[in-house]
Amino acid sequence: MKKALVIAVFALMGFTAAAQSGSGFGIKAGLSYNKNGDLIGSVGDAGQDIREGAEGKAGFHVGFWGKLDFPKIYLRPELVFTKTKSSYDLDGGSQDYDVSKLDLPVLVGYKLIGPLHVFAGPAFQYTLKNDLGDLEVEDVESDFTVGLNAGVGVNLGKVGLDVRYERGFSENEAAFIGNNITDVSGRVDSRPSQVIFSLSLKL
């Protein structure tokens, strides 16, 4: 009985893995917990230096993916719209820093056993918009940056679940200024580190 149960479990794992195996494409969406880099600035006429670390908040993403499948590895490019949010304590209050961007991860994956796989690859990012509450934010230093995605996933039928970590290779700062002379001003790093949870569907 135990032997039959073990065989059935492995057969089911093989079936669910095969259902999303093979080349193809699909859609994806999910949530992230992200944290931007430090905010560095000054307050008022005195120019008192401040350095404020970000408090991470939840963000989201939606997009498309394609897959080229090989016996033990696969190549999976993705095109994703992402919105991240972090919070800073500034001038006696809290300001949310929102960043909207297009991400293009190009992932190479390795199939471990059954539906389980690991992956990593570069993540190209184009910044669309950034907003820091009541403060005026200028354009980021570079609209285009590169980071790294790495994670683990599982395929269950046509559905895939994965969790990954993203980190930029360098800072990408944006300058900001208050609405009057007593406000803070300075620069903030717009390239976040993220833990990303994704749900994908093969079409």
Task: Grade residue 118 by pLDDT with cuts at 50, 70 and 90.
Answer: very high
In this predicted structure, what is the pLDDT of residue 54? 61
Q: Specify the 3-state DSSP secondary structure of 93.
A: strand
pLDDT (tens digit per residue) in 50-89:
555 666 678 899 999 999 999 899 999 999 999 988 777 7
The Cα 193–Cα 140 span in angstroms is 17
The model carries a pTM of 0.75
Whether 26 contacts 58, CB under 8 Å: no
Torsion angles phi and psi, residue 23, rounded to 5: -65, 150
| Count of domains observed in the chain | 1
What was the pLDDT predicted at 14?
Answer: 42
Q: What does the pLDDT read at residue 17?
A: 41
User: What value does the mean pLDDT of the chain take?
Assistant: 78
Please give the single-letter amino acid code of residue 9: V
Separation of CA 202 from chain center: 20
Specify the residue for token string 């790495």: 150
CA 17 to each of CA 25, 112, 144: distance values in angstroms, whole numbers, following the listed order: 15, 11, 36
Cα 104 to Cα 127, 133, 145: the distances in Å are 12, 27, 11
Task: Express each pLDDT in 147-161 by its tens digit.
Answer: 899 999 999 989 999
Q: What range does the domain containing 69 cover?
A: 2-202
Quick one: which H or E segment has residue 114?
none
* List of long-range contacts for 168-171, beta carbons under 8 Å, 24+ apart: 168/125, 168/192, 168/193, 169/145, 170/145, 171/37, 171/141
CATH number at residue 130: 2.40.160.20
